[in-house]
Amino acid sequence: MKRRLFSALAAALLLVVPARGHVGTLNVVYESQTPPVPLRVIIRPPGVVPGLADIDVRVLTNGVQRVTVLPVHAHAGLKGSPPPDVAEPVEGEPDLYHAQLWLMTAGAYSVHVSVETTNGTAKVIVPVNSLATSRLPMTGGLGSILAGLGLVLFLLAVSIVGAAVRESVLAPGETPSLRKLWMGRAALATAAVVLMLSLAGGRAWWNSKDSNYRNNRMFKPVECVASVRTQEQQRILSLTIQTNENRSAWPQLVPDHGKLMHVFMVREPALDVLAHLHPVRRNHWLFEAALPSLPEGNYRLYADVTHESGFSQTLTSVARVPALVSESASAAAPIATDPDDSWHRGNALGSTTSNAPFDLGDGLVMKWENAGSLKAGREVSFRFAVVGRDGRQARLEAYMSMLGHAAIRRDDGAVFTHLHPAGSISVASQQVFQLRAGENAPRRITPEMMEKLCQPLSGDLAIVPLTFPFEFPLPGRYRIWVQVKVAGKVRTAEFDADVRSAG
C-alpha cells in the first residue's frame, strides 16, 4: 500500500512539469536531416533558474571542424546575448559534441547551433523553455560539514575580537591587566551577540529568498478546466483557461501547424482510445471542439499551445465523455469540427507489441523497423514504414504540414509527449525565433509574421522512412501512437514498449 501511495504521489508531482508537448520532462529533442549537415540536438534544461543546461549535438556526417552553441532569451535577442560557446567532442563518441550553458532567467530561449564541416555549414535554432520546476536540496552530509566549518569560523572570529581588545595594544611580553581582561571578555561577548544576530538575519534573508523562489519564481502550470456538454445530439468539448492574470491579456497565441491548439484525449486506464483535436477559440480563454464518435469514459486531456514570445506549454485536464444520445448521433455532422481532427479506437495497453505490424486498413500495415531494447535517458530515433499489399512503401501525404505525428504516454500518465519528425520542439516557436533572428526584427508578432506562421511548411513530405527522435525520461511501460495520412485518410497505429532503466 505504501508503495502504491508513493507511486501515485510521484506521478502527480511529475504531471505538474509541462513544457512543449511534454509532461514529466523538460528535455527537448530536435533533428534535421537537411544536407549537407544532418544533425540531432538534445537540450536538457536544469530545472532550476539560474542553472546550467546540458546541450548535446550529434553530427550525422563526417568532417566536423567546429560546433558552437548560443542561448538567446526571447526578450534579449541576439544583441543582448554573449558570444557563442564552443561545444567540445565527447571522448568515445566520434560524432557527439557537448556544452554546458547558463540559462539565467525563466522564459522562452532559442539555442542557436552552428556546425561547420568540410561539406558546408549548418545553422539551426532550437527553442527550449527555461523553467524553475525544482529546488536543489542540500544533502545531510554536506550540511553537517558546512555547519561544522561555520562553527569553527564563528569561534575563531569571536576569539580574534576578544584577543584584539585584550592584547593588541600591549607591548611584547607584557601581561594584560585585570581591566584589559574584563574588556576582552566584554568584547568577546559583544562579538558573539553581534555575530549571532548577523547569522539570524542571514537565515531570515535566505528563508525569504527561498520562499520567494518557491511561491513566485517556480513555474506553476496554468489550470485548464474541461467539460463535455450535449447540444443538438452533438457532444461539445469546452476547455476554459483558468489564470490569475487578466484573461483578456493572456499572452497571444500563434498557430502551430496552422492550429492555435492541439488537444490529445486519451481514455484511461486502458489507453485504448486516442483523439487528436483542434478546438476553435471562442474568446480569450474558451476553446471548443465537436467530439467525434468517441466511446464514453474518463479521458485525460493534453492541450499544446505556443505564445508569441516563443514560450510553449501543455495544459492538462480530465473530462468525462458521456455516451451518445442515440445511434443516429454518431452519423450526425458535427457543428464545429476541424477537417484535421482524427480519432482512433484500438486495444488496451499491453495487447500490442513493438515487433508486430499494425493493420491500418485498406491493405496497409505500419511496421516499427528498429524496435528493440529501449533505455531511459538514451537518445533514439524511431523508424516506421507504411507498407501496402504489394510490399512497397506507401506514399505519405502531408498531415498538417508534417510527414507524421506521434504521441507517447507512460501507463501511469507521468510522461506524455507529442512528437513529429523534427522532434519534440514546437515548430511554431522555432518559426517565431527564426522570424526574430534579424537585427531589426520586431519583438511583437506583426500581421505579416502571423501570415507566414499560418502558411504550410515546405518540403517533400513523401520522404521515407518516417522517423521520430526522442529520449525517454523515465523507465516504464509506454504506449506509442503514430499518425500518418495515406490516400486522403488519417490512419493511426499503436505500439507498446517497455523502457528499462539506463543503469
Rounded CA gap, 327 and 402, in Å?
35
Average of per-residue pLDDT across 142-171: 90
The pLDDT of residue 457 is above 60: no
Average of per-residue pLDDT across 149-174: 89
pLDDT > 70: percent of the chain:
87
Same fold, 17-130 and 223-500: yes
Phi first, then psi: give them for residue 95, nearest 5 degrees.
-110, 10
pLDDT confidence bin for 408, thresholds 50/70/90:
very high
Q: What is the pLDDT of residue 4?
A: 40
CA angle 103, 107, 110 (to 5 degrees): 65
Residue-level length of the chain? 503
Average of per-residue pLDDT across 364-392: 91
Q: What is the pLDDT of residue 172?
A: 84
Enter the pTM of the model. 0.83
pLDDT confidence bin for 333, thresholds 50/70/90:
very low
| Single-letter amino acid, residue 154 | F
The pLDDT of residue 456 is above 60: no
User: Higher pLDDT residue, 14 or 139?
Assistant: 139
Please name which of 331, 335, 277 lies closest in space to residue 304, comparing C-alpha atoms: 277
Q: How many angstroms separate the Cα of 483 from the Cα of each of 123, 405, 421, 458?
A: 29, 5, 12, 19
The pLDDT of residue 376 is above 50: yes
Q: How many angstroms separate the Cα of 128 from the Cα of each of 109, 125, 253, 274, 487?
A: 5, 10, 17, 27, 35
Residue with C-alpha cell 478546438?
279
Q: Is 289:405 a contact under the CB 8 Å cutoff?
A: no
User: Higher pLDDT residue, 467 or 133?
Assistant: 467
Q: Which long-range contacts (CB under 8 A, 24 or more apart) does 132-141 make?
A: 132/47, 132/48, 132/49, 132/106, 132/213, 132/217, 132/218, 132/219, 133/16, 133/17, 133/26, 133/47, 133/48, 133/218, 133/219, 134/47, 134/48, 134/218, 135/48, 135/210, 135/213, 135/214, 135/218, 136/48
Least confident range of 71-75, 173-177, 299-303: 173-177
Phi first, then psi: give them for residue 277, nearest 5 degrees.
-120, 165
53-82 burial string, b = 16+ CB within 10 Å, else e?
A: bebbbbbebeebeebbbbbbbbeebeeeee
> How many beta carbons lie within 10 A of that of residue 52, not counting itself?
14
Q: What is the pLDDT of residue 442?
A: 62
Q: Is 107:73 a contact under the CB 8 Å cutoff?
A: yes
Q: Is 424:418 a contact under the CB 8 Å cutoff?
A: yes
Rounded CA gap, 275 and 490, in Å?
12
* Domain covering 223-500: architecture: Sandwich (2.60)
Rounded CA gap, 110 and 218, in Å?
20
The pLDDT of residue 141 is above 50: yes
The pLDDT of residue 116 is above 50: yes
pLDDT > 90: percent of the chain:
53
Please name which of 427, 412, 419 lies closest in space to residue 266, comparing C-alpha atoms: 412
Average of per-residue pLDDT across 329-336: 49
Mean pLDDT for all residues in the chain = 85
pLDDT confidence bin for 289, thresholds 50/70/90:
very high
Rounded CA gap, 358 and 367, in Å?
7
Least confident range of 23-37, 265-279, 438-452: 438-452
Average of per-residue pLDDT across 223-241: 92
For residue 18, the cross-strand partners are: 23
Least confident range of 179-188, 196-205, 301-310, 441-450: 441-450
Q: What is the pLDDT of residue 303?
A: 95
Rounded CA gap, 168 and 160, in Å?
10
Q: What is the pLDDT of residue 263?
A: 96
Is CATH 3.20.20.80 the right assignment for the domain spanning 17-130? Answer: no
Rounded CA gap, 368 and 356, in Å?
8
Average of per-residue pLDDT across 259-271: 95
The interaxial angle of helices 427-435 and 447-454, nearest 10 deg, is 140
Q: What is the pLDDT of residue 497?
A: 93
Average of per-residue pLDDT across 479-503: 93
CA angle 84, 68, 23 (to 5 degrees): 95
| Single-letter amino acid, residue 398 | A
Helix, strand, coil % over all residues of the chain, rounded to 5: 20, 40, 40
Q: What is the pLDDT of residue 11?
A: 37
In the chain, what are the domain boundaries? 17-130, 140-168+178-217, 223-500
Q: Is the peptide bond before 50 cis (omega within 30 degrees of 0)?
A: yes
Average of per-residue pLDDT across 398-408: 91
The pLDDT of residue 441 is above 70: no
Q: What is the pLDDT of residue 404?
A: 92
Average of per-residue pLDDT across 82-95: 92
Q: What is the pLDDT of residue 13?
A: 36
Q: What is the pLDDT of residue 358?
A: 94
